[in-house]
Each structure stands twice: as structure tokens, then as C-alpha cells.
Amino acid sequence: MYRRPPLRNRPAPRRILVSGASIAGPTLAYWLHRYGFDVTVVEKASAIRGGGYAIDIRGTARDVVDRMGLLPRLREAHVNSEQITFLHPDGSELAAIRPEFATGGAAGLDLEVRRGDLADCLYAAVEGKVEFLFRDSIATLHDTGEQVDVTFDSGIRRTFDLVLGADGLHSNTRRLAFGPEEHYHRYLGYSFAGFTLPNTLGLVREAQLWNVPGRAAVLYAHEPDDALHGFLTFAQDEPPLDAFRDPHAQRDLVAAHFPETRWQIPMMVEAMRNSDDLFFDVVSQIHMPSWSRGHIALTGDAAHATSFMSGQGSSCALVSAYVLAGELATRPDHTTAFESYEKTVRGFVELNQALATAGGDVVAPRTQQQIDTRNEALLHHTDLTSGQQGREANTALALPDYEA
């Protein structure tokens, strides 16, 4: 049985509300509970959302899940992508590489799991130990200067010593405490649609990537009996804000960017149009001058979304949540804890946010010249920039040990 270590300056247990139960939220809840805090997690969905695309846990983030004792379970959930096949516009094969070549990951060490499997695993580590309020959301926050008065959508009113937002790219906590998303949102110039379809191609542990300048179509599958994941992304100077309000407009917009009759494009467009799990968004990051204000702080995508083009969003969420909890446990007050959290994590996050540019140049190069440069590297097996930078960024922080 786990025994709580004697932490010097252990603060009296404080009531903390965490908003969001995906990656950062349950990680934060786990460590805060372990350090003796009284934790409530509010999640707007009715349960932890399972399944989904595969994410990587690399470098410093792997140390976080190791310290949580989750490696055995995550190894079981490992999906082990073996190959990325790059295609010519006519669908013929250009080159096939190991994924680490593009991501800078370490084969045999990194974990690749479905986002929902990671969330399930993190949730299982805290279930029954902290309070979860599903199907609810923070409606209002009032920082009194001493604590935070919270009203939930359900009408419940509670008071917490601290509120920590781990509610993702479009964070509700950020909007309520720091202002509109537009102030912090950095559009990276692409939109994307993700959806699933039957695996009629029989793909196994492989991604196929088709490009023309500024556009990419990706099909990938993990295990033989898995659905196929389809992904269509396209560059556009201005974010298509109107499409957010209208699911039909989203489908029309994506379809209009993929008129080709080559490769599997027509099949993908039709599947996207008929999909009941279409996920449409812009590719963007969050950049904030400060991740805390008064008794409220943010972590994970809510504070510093890196975008899928960096491949490091989940890893950053794990590291950031771990450090935030550790600093709260070991600093004399929340203000110095928030400062120290940000000082420790910001450089690491910024290095990982910077990966998105090189990632975009691999996934969806904007010009034919960029496609040619990437293809040269693929054909001559020279390191892709994304791989070199990724290796440096994902291990750039030595994880502090708050229990030492």
C-alpha cells in the first residue's frame, strides 16, 4: 500500500477543484490526492471518453506515468505503429519509414496509446479517491482574494481554495478567469477533419499519407480489427470561423478542399460526409503570458496547447500537471507554487510548441518545394528536421522529484 511520504512544509489539506478529466486533469488529481489535497474534478462529458486517435508518451512524460506505476498497463494498451507510408499524388508509394524517424521518438521506449486508453488508465488511478462530478461544468467563478466561489451549470454552489483548469484547447476555465480564447489562440494556418470508417483496406499498424501542396489525407489503423482513422487537413490563411457554427458547412468546406479523384480521396470524402463521429477544428496553439491569476491556474492544452502537428500535446499535459501538483505540495503558498510551476515547465513547453512548424512541413508541406525537400530526406534516409528537434524537445526537462 502506498504510504504518503513526509513532505517538508506540508500545507494543510486544501480543497481544489480541477476542471476537465482527460489527460492533464486526472494526472493533476492523482498527484494532488497523493500529496494530501482534497480534490474534486468536474467533467462536462457523462464519462471518461474512450477510444480515439493514438498519442505518444515520450521522454520526460514517460517518467511521469512511470512514477504513477502505470507503465505495465500502458504497455498492454501500446498500439505500436510500425510504418508511415508516404504516397505520390497518384497514390503510388514514395517511401516507407519507421514513425520515430519523423517524430524523434525512441523505438522500444516510447508508448503509443489511444488518447481514450490513456485517459481511462489515468482515471483508474484516482477513481474512488477523489470526487468526480460528471455531466457538469463551471458556470461562474469568483475569486474573493482568499478562495474561489464556484457555481456549476447544475446550480450547485461550492467554495474551493484553488481552481485548476485542465479543460483543453477551448478551456472554459480560461474563458471565465482570463478572458476570450481569441486573446491566446495562435492559428497555425490549417484546419482538419478526423473521422472513422470501416477498415476495408486491411491496414494494420500503418499510416498512409497522401500530399499535394497545402493538403494532406491520412488513413491509419492500429490492430487488424480496428476501424480505419481518416484525417483530412488543408491550409487556409484565415480560420474558417463560420464553419464552427454549422456541421454541414464543415463537411462542405472539407469536401471542397479535396476534389481529387485520385487515391482514396473520393472514398474518404464520402466517409467524412456520412460520418457520425466527425471532429473538425483548426490547428492552433495556446500562448499565454501567464498561466495563473489569483487562486486560479491552467495546465495542459488549456494553458499551452501545442497542436497535433507537434505530436507532444499529451506529453506536455502529463508533465505540466505533474509539476503543478508537485509545486503546490512543496511551496509555502499557492502564489510561489504557481510561479515555480511556470518557471519549471514553460521552456519545455515552448520547445515542444516549436515542433509544430517542422511537424507541419512533414505532414502537410505548403509548397511543392517543401514537399520536394521532405521527399529528398525520405528517399535518402537523412534525418527529418522534425525528428531531430523532437528528440531534443521531448527530453528537455529533467522531471523534479517532489517526494525526495
Ligand X SMILES: Cc1cc2nc3c(=O)[nH]c(=O)nc-3n(C[C@H](O)[C@H](O)[C@H](O)COP(=O)(O)OP(=O)(O)OC[C@H]3O[C@@H](n4cnc5c(N)ncnc54)[C@H](O)[C@@H]3O)c2cc1C
Under the rule (CB under 6 A), what is the footprint of ligand X?
19-25, 42-45, 53, 55-56, 115, 137, 166-169, 172, 194, 300-302, 308, 311-315, 317
Closest contact distance (angstroms) between CB of 22 and ligand X is 3
Largest CA distance in the chain: 66
Phi, psi for 14 (deg, rounded to 5): -125, 150
By Cβ distance, which residue is nearest to ligand X? Answer: 313
Q: Which is nearer to ligand X, 44 or 366 (CB)?
A: 44
Q: Which three cell numbers stand for residue 98?
A: 519507421
Helix axes 368-379, 355-363, angle to 10 degrees: 90
How many Å apart are CA 92 and CA 85, to the nearest integer? 10
Nearer to ligand X, 169 or 216 (CB): 169
Per DSSP, 29 falls in state H
Compute the least distance from the CB of residue 317 to ligand X, in Å.
4
Q: Is the Cβ of residue 206 or residue 301 nearer to ligand X in the bound state?
A: 301
Distance in Å, CB of 128 to ligand X, minimum:
19
Report the nearest approach of ligand X to the CB of residue 170 (Å): 7
State how far the Cα of 328 lies from the Cα of 220, in Å rounded to an integer.
41
Toward ligand X, which CB reaches closer, 110 or 327? 110
- Nearest Cα residue to 192 out of 359, 45, 374, 314: 359
Contacts of 271 (CB under 8 A, 6+ apart): 195, 197, 230
Distance of closest approach, residue 11 Cβ to ligand X, in angstroms: 25
Question: What is the nearest approach in angstroms of ligand X to the Cβ of residue 178?
Answer: 14
The radius of gyration of the chain from alpha carbons, rounded to an integer in Å, stands at 21
11 or 386: CB nearest ligand X? 386
Nearer to ligand X, 359 or 365 (CB): 359
Q: How is residue 356 annotated by DSSP? A: H
